[in-house]
Structure 1
Amino acid sequence: MSCPICNKDTDPKYRPFCSKRCADLDLAKWLTGSYAIPSAQEDDDEALSEALEEEQRKPH
């Protein structure tokens, strides 16, 4: 198995990474939002938010 960051052989101590440096780089990517799982729900949330705002503007 190779390190997903630099493609060197992995070290059992830091598996699946080769070193603490690569493990920390990967963690930093997660914490800064560089990695993201695409979701269609974001569009749904935006549409719902717009609908709620429009509903609040209407007189009751």
Structure 2
Amino acid sequence: MTCPICDGGTTASYRPFCSKRCADIDLGKWLNGVYAVPSQDAEDPENAAVQAERNLQIKHS
């Protein structure tokens, strides 16, 4: 198995990556939206975020 970031050999402690550096690069890609899981939901994400915020405010009032 090779590291999906640098194609180097993997190590057991960071599998499927070769090092903490490559694992952190991969995490950064997820957090920055480079990777995304497709959704079948037609709902607009911005509207969903606004509605979730409103729901939180109502519950904490």
Output the TM-score relative to the length of structure 2: 0.64
Distance in 2 separating the partners of 1:13 and 1:39: 32
* Greater Rg over alpha carbons, structure: 1
Q: Deviations over 1:25-46 (max 9, x none)?
A: 00001111111012231xx214
Identical counterparts, % of pairs: 60
Residue of structure 2 aligned with 1:45, choices 43, 46, 53? 43
Equivalences for residues 1-60 of structure 1 within 5 A: 1-41=1-41, 44-46=42-44
Mapped to 2, the partners of 1:40 and 1:4 lie a distance apart of: 27
- What SS does structure 1 have at the residue aligned with 2:13? coil
2:8 and 2:39 mapped to 1: Cα distance?
32
3-state DSSP of counterpart to 1:17? coil
Gaps of 5+ in 2: 48-61
Counterpart-to-counterpart distance in 2, 1:45 and 1:23: 32
